[in-house]
Structures are given as structure tokens and as C-alpha cells.
Structure 1
Amino acid sequence: MSKILDGVVVLDLTRFFSGPQATLLLAGMGAEVIKIDDPKTGDPTAFAPPYAGPRGISFERQTDLDMGLAYLKRARAKKSATLDLKSEQGVALFKRMVANADVVVENFSAGVADRLGIGYAQLGQVNPRLIYCSVTGYGSTGPDKNLKAYDPMVQAAVGLMSITGKPETGPVKAGSPISDAIAGIFAANGIVAALLHRERTGAGQAIDVSMADCLFSLIFDEPLDCYKRLGLEFQQGSRIMRFSPFNAYQTMDGWVVIGTATQSDWTALVGVMQRDDLLEHGDFCRLPWRLANNADVDRIVASWTRKLRSADAIEILNRAKVPCSPVRTIDDVMHWAHLEERGMVERVWNPLSGSHVDAAAAGFPLKFSRTPGAYDGHAPRPGQHTDEVMARLANVEDAELRALRTLGVV
């Protein structure tokens, strides 16, 4: 076994980010992920801005070889086939494929897959060992299950926007579509767990993944329902309210983040700031007092960082083993030697132009010692693997495939 999920066949009906994120992780672990798109419309991100091609990155498609950058990132290491799942022939053909597959992943709106005849109730009869994962905004149950959701709606719905930023800014979403990404990670985790259960019992099952559930489960480790009783604003900026100091501080040429989660961290920070007087001050040595008077603590730390360049502050803090980091720009991150050494920055390949584009994508984030994961292949040309997949998984012969193609089914 060269990768953990070698031999696992995943039929990927997902679109946009949350579902493709899940199947991308599965592909990185070795699963054969087969994207299935409508032959008429294709993947909505395949030819959508921003584009990447021979003339660079642009909001306008500059050449016939340009492809959507999101597609080139999210479809890595996957195969592509086309199939019309709104037709009876398409559904029948898909069921033939399901009989030889291990996993189906979809992120249609709640109830759509059932109406198409490809929900778990229908496909589980075709293949009782099937793992079927649905990713939706709010789940397949509950009064809001049919609401349309994109990432900002979910961030707003579960309260993340209300706790991000500072009180004077109003609600602010996280800088990236975090609810999509997190739901994809949870979905991949659930699929791997269900595959383990099937290995033990022989039985498949359905997995219901809600973007709202996943995001809420992460943010609610914080005692947000207790903030008012603690006299705290919900928007805390960059600080973590359980520790003090723990914040972003401006330097002469940028920003650094400094955090003291233990008394030894605080003592070390006081030492590098050359403020031993604070150790003699009984209140400053008590975390509950520092939490209640965090503004005073932050002013002391900020007055020290403002006199230093970021690199100098980081060097001093690291030498004293005070947890810290420079606030890197994305340009800085692209040249961060640490990520480069860990293989986390990869060049993006355009299969139409047959060349790399001027953009990067994240490498596979899990580092296995025995079964290394990786995105071994670039994004496929849309429909590139239709013939191969239909022949192998659905036993479609050439004559039948030609007829299906004439009818627009594939």
C-alpha cells in the first residue's frame, strides 16, 4: 500500500469549495476520486474567474487555454467524467458505477439527490457497502435545512461574524471561506471513519455534514455564552480572552503576535521587556487581574514593541522562548522557508496549456511516516476520463458509449 486510501473509488458530485475540499483530501490520501459533471454545463469553476493561463492571472479570459484558478487547485489528483444525472439513462448509468464504487460525495441542496434518484436510500440498495456523504449549509434535518447557504451566510448564522473584529467595526467575516474549508475537512474525516467502520462490519452508511454544525463546533470551544457574565465584548480583535497578554502588537515596520499562556511565559516576557518592576507588583503576577485589566497590560507590551523592528522583536522573543510570530503578508508566506521545506507550496498546472501558471496551491497537509500523502496529479481536462471510467465502473462498451454521447447523456 503506497497510500492509505489506495483502491478506494470515490464518485465526486460536489461543486464549489466544501465538497471539492473533502474529495481533494481523499485524493491526497490515495483515493481514486472521479469528478462527475453535467456534460452541458461542466464544473462551474472550470472556466470562471480568476483565470490562469499563458498570459497570467486575470479576471478576463485572455486565451482559449485559460482555466479557472479555483478548479486548477481543487481538482488536483482527480479524474473527470461527464454524465447527465437529470436523465433516466444517466441515473441508470450512475447506479452501475455505484455498484463498483466505495464512496459517493455530494453537496446538492437538501433533498435534491433524493429527487434525482441518487440519494442514499436509492444507492444504498445498489451497494450496501457504500459510504454516502452529503455536505450542505445547514444539514438534511431541521427547520432551516432548505435555506441556500454560502460561506458568509454560515459565518453569520453561527455567530462567527459577530465575534470577529472589534466593536467599532461591526460584524466581520473571517478572511477566507472558513466554513467551506472546515466542512470539507470534517466530511473527509467522516468518510475515513465510515470506511474504517465498513472494514470492521462490512456495512456502509450515510454521513450528514452541515457547514453550520462544523463551524459552530469549532468556535464554541470558547465560552461565548458566558462573555456577558464576564463583562467581555464579543468582539475581542486579535486577543484570546483567557490569557493576558495575548494579542497583535505594532512594531516599527509591521506587526507581531505575542502570547503568554503560562506564568513562565509571562515571566520571560517581562524579562525581555526589562520590566522586572512588574514582577514585584503583586497584581501583574496574577492572571485573573491581568485579564480584568488587559488594556493596561497591552499598553505596556505595545510600548515595547513599537520601539523595535519586527525581526528584532521576534529574535529577542524566540531567544527567551516567548510564544510569538511575525504577522506575515501573503507575499511573505509565499517565501517562508519553513512551508517550502514541508512541501506546502506547490505550483499550479493548467492541463489545457500544458504548462505551469503563475499561481501556487497548498500542498497535502498531513505527513504520514509510512504512507506519504500527496496530490500526485494536476487537475484534469473536463471530461478527460469519461471513456475509461464508464468502461471500467459501468461496463459500458464502445457502441453504447457512442449512443450515450449522441443523446447528450455523457
Structure 2
Amino acid sequence: MEKILTGTVVLDLTRFFSGPQATLFLAGLGAEVIKIDDPATGDPTTFSPPFAGPEGVSFHRKTQADMGIAYLKRARGKKSVGLNLKAPEGRAAFMKLVRSADVVIDNFSAGVADRLGIGYETLREANPGIVHCSLTGYGSTGPERNLKAYDLMVQAAVGMMSVTGQPDAPPAKAGSPLSDAIAGTFAATGILAALLHRNRTGEGQSVDVSMADCLFALMFDEPFDCYRSLGLPLRQGNRIMRFSPFNAYRTRDGWVVAGAATQDDWNALLRAMGREDLAENPQINSLSWRLANNATVDSLMSSWTEPLESAEVLRRLNEVKVPCSPVREIGEVMEWAQLKDRDMMMPLWNPLAQATVEAKGPGFPIKFSASKAAYDTPAPLPGQHSREVLMNLGGFSAHDVDAMARRGIISAP
């Protein structure tokens, strides 16, 4: 099956996580994603810890074949070109690639692309149909657009850390870099929308993606601005203020989560617990009462779950179709048959070691009935495709490429 974005050329100037996440999705959909890195420094994750190689994973390179796990995950399905954009000759070569490309994406700080001479207006002059995506911490406009930001800063800035964790606990971020991952997902979506717009109108455009905007857009479905009026603490722990019960509960051998979002869920939960008698209690049978008395409801749940093993709690809840799950540790997640069946844990290939490594990477998360979506090639060696891309896409001769390599404009192993 042909992939949806087959034939689409993406010039990828991004680094670290948010931008490479966006282009990883585009690669999985079939785009020809061409990573462009400075020949002198390369992708900062290529040889950054933690490493994976012939002798396992480590914070130190045990062998010359060890490579960064982040690079092996994020560079899958992509090509690698080493090109010095700070040199006039390198910029000229890049602009020749732009004329044949569909998308240019960067996650430079606001204004950097313009200073390099490769901002959107310059790109549009070379290729009026180009789709340009700029992915920054706070966006390309606004009073704080020039501030540098990583995931931690964005989670703090938009209030995520103030609502994460237990009441009276200090600020805490989510356990994974959500703002990076979410912004990368939004960027890929924005690029797809702009490509669809171009197919309809012939017009390219610039897509401005802010990590802060993206994270805030998702978290602000919850009415946090009304919590004070409702008499609620911002930190709800595992609870959602609209449902009760809704929490993590200790069992004899671990933890499970369970929740009742509807009256049917609550009635089914009472059956699972063998407490149908409570269905006649007008107080506890009222969602409003349960929300106001969460601690009492949680105590009722815990008194039922704690003497039982997790498997038995889950069996009873699933039997009556109450939403529930075991709280899996990562080692257990890696053995979860559901994710394995959907190809969500894929081996990583180390091109220096010419072998798979101990670490794994996520598979493509969307399944299509009529199209293929997957990361078909492993992470490339740095500069592996410089010669191929410059000759095939940029129209350079072999002589030109060799000359640029000698002058350090490109890396072409």
C-alpha cells in the first residue's frame, strides 16, 4: 500500500524533541523527510546520553558504535544531510532544495530563521507553494516570543505544574515531556492542513506553532479558572472533579484505577462490590453528594479493593463494564499484549553497530485501512544522504558536491 504523503518532500531543520516528533509523524505517513544539520556539530542527540550499542544501554559510550537512544528513535524514516547554513554557499544550496520541496520546518528561537536568511518570506520568494512551519516555545508573536523554553518551562508557564500532583504537594511536572510531544503532534497536524489548503488553492503559507499554546489548549478543557468559585483545590491528584469515584486504589498486590462517569457506571460498580444496598441510599446515589464527599467514596472503594488481588478487582469490574485498569510499571507495559498486537513497540537499529539495540521505539500510532503508515528505515548515519539529496533534489553535479565537501560546506561520508 502506498503511504499518504508519498512524494512530499520535507526539509527538517529541527532539533531535540518537539520538531523531530512532528517530522517523525510525517515520515511515518510517507513524506521524504530530509534532516539538515550543521556538518560541524550535527544533530545534538546523535551522540548524547543515554546511549545504546553492542554492549547495552549506558550513560557513557562503551564503544565507538554507541549512539544516542533519542536519535535512534526520532530520526527513523528520515534522510540526513550535513549542510552549513551559516555559509553563503550553504544557504544557496539550501535554497535550491527549497525550490523542489513542499515543507520546511524549524524550531529555532523566534527570529533566528530570518537572521540566517531563510525566513518564510525568503522561502516564499523561492517557492510560492512552500509550507513553512515554525515551532517555538511561546510562538512567533507576543511579548515573550523571544524567551527560550524547554518542556519544564512550558509546563510551568501554562499552569500544568500547578494542577499536577496531590493537594498541598509542591509543583510537579508530568512524568514525560508532554509539551514537546503535544506541540510536535500539533505541528504535524498544522502542516497536513496547510498541504490540504495548498492542494485546493495552490497557495503555500506559514504555520506558527507554540508549545505553550498547544499544551494550554489541551489542558484548558478543564475549567481551572472556575475552581476557586467551586471551592476546589487546583491539585486534584488522580481525580476528575466531575466524577466520583475516580482514583487509584491499592489492592493486595498492587494498584488499580477505576472510575464512574455515569449513573450506570455507579450502579454497575455497586454490583461489582456486592453493595447493591447502597443504590437505595439517596445521598451516596447522588453524584453531587459523592463529589462533595470524595474521601468517603474513596474509603468505600479502598475497603473493597485492599483485601483483593488486582486481577480479581479487574475481573469483577470488567465483568460489569466499569472502566478500570491496572497501574502498570514500564516493565509491565513493555510486555502488554495489547500494545504488542498493535506494533507499538518496535526494535531500534543502530547504523554504526549494524544491529538492533536493547532500547525500543514507539510504532506509528494511527492505523489506516487503505494506507500504510510506519517507519520503514532506521535512523541514518549523520550526513549519509548529503550526496544523494543535493544531486537528485538540488540538481548539483558530483563535481559540485565533492567541492562543497572539501570546503566543509557539507558532510558527505
| Cα distance in structure 1, aligned partners of 2:113 and 2:271 | 62
For residue 168 of structure 2, give the secondary structure of its aligned residue in structure 1.
Answer: helix
Q: Does 1:99 align with 2:99?
A: yes
For residue 348 of structure 1, give the secondary structure of its aligned residue in structure 2.
Answer: strand
> Within 5 A, what are the aligned runs for 1:209-288?
209-288=209-288
Q: Displacement, 1:311?
A: 1.1
Q: Which residue of 2 aligns with 1:394?
A: 394
| Cα distance in structure 2, aligned partners of 1:218 and 1:136 | 17
| Cα distance in structure 2, aligned partners of 1:272 and 1:140 | 53
> Within 5 A, what are the aligned runs for 1:25-174?
25-174=25-174
Q: Which residue of 1 aligns with 2:200?
A: 200
| Cα distance in structure 2, aligned partners of 1:7 and 1:301 | 55
Q: Displacement, 1:120?
A: 0.4
Q: Which residue of 1 aligns with 2:316?
A: 316
| Cα distance in structure 1, aligned partners of 2:311 and 2:34 | 46
The one-letter amino acid paired with 2:274 is Q
Deviations 1:189-212 (A, max 9, x none): 000011000000001000000000
| Cα distance in structure 1, aligned partners of 2:309 and 2:146 | 52
Q: Displacement, 1:42?
A: 0.2
| Cα distance in structure 1, aligned partners of 2:76 and 2:135 | 20
Structure 2: give runs of 5+ residues left out of the alignment.
none
Q: Does 1:184 align with 2:184?
A: yes
The one-letter amino acid paired with 1:391 is M
| Cα distance in structure 1, aligned partners of 2:305 and 2:36 | 53
Deviations 1:210-266 (A, max 9, x none): 000000000000000000111111001111111000111111111111011110000
Q: Does 1:14 align with 2:7?
A: no
Q: Does 1:356 align with 2:356?
A: yes
| Cα distance in structure 2, aligned partners of 1:219 and 1:76 | 30
| Cα distance in structure 1, aligned partners of 2:334 and 2:354 | 23
Q: Which residue of 2 aligns with 1:307?
A: 307
Q: List, as ranges, runs of 4+ consecutive aligned residues in structure 1 with deviation greater than 2 Å.
A: none
Q: Displacement, 1:277?
A: 2.5
Q: Displacement, 1:399?
A: 1.4
Q: Displacement, 1:111?
A: 0.3
| Cα distance in structure 1, aligned partners of 2:305 and 2:126 | 64
Q: Displacement, 1:59?
A: 0.2
How big is the alpha-carbon RMSD for the aligned residues of Structure 1 and Structure 2? Answer: 0.7
| Cα distance in structure 2, aligned partners of 1:135 and 1:20 | 11
Q: Displacement, 1:81?
A: 0.5
Deviations 1:7-34 (A, max 9, x none): 0000000000000000000000000000
| Cα distance in structure 1, aligned partners of 2:168 and 2:308 | 28
Q: Which residue of 2 aligns with 1:341?
A: 341
Of 68-77 and 268-277, the range deviating more from structure 2: 268-277
Identity, % of aligned positions: 63
- Normalised by the size of structure 1, how large is the TM-score? 0.99
Q: Displacement, 1:408?
A: 1.0
For residue 369 of structure 2, give the secondary structure of its aligned residue in structure 1.
Answer: coil
| Cα distance in structure 1, aligned partners of 2:319 and 2:284 | 23
Deviations 1:50-104 (A, max 9, x none): 0000000000001110000000000001000110011111111100000000000
- Normalised by the size of structure 2, how large is the TM-score? 0.98
Q: Displacement, 1:272?
A: 1.0
| Cα distance in structure 2, aligned partners of 1:403 and 1:377 | 29
| Cα distance in structure 1, aligned partners of 2:229 and 2:301 | 27
Structure 1: give runs of 5+ residues left out of the alignment.
none
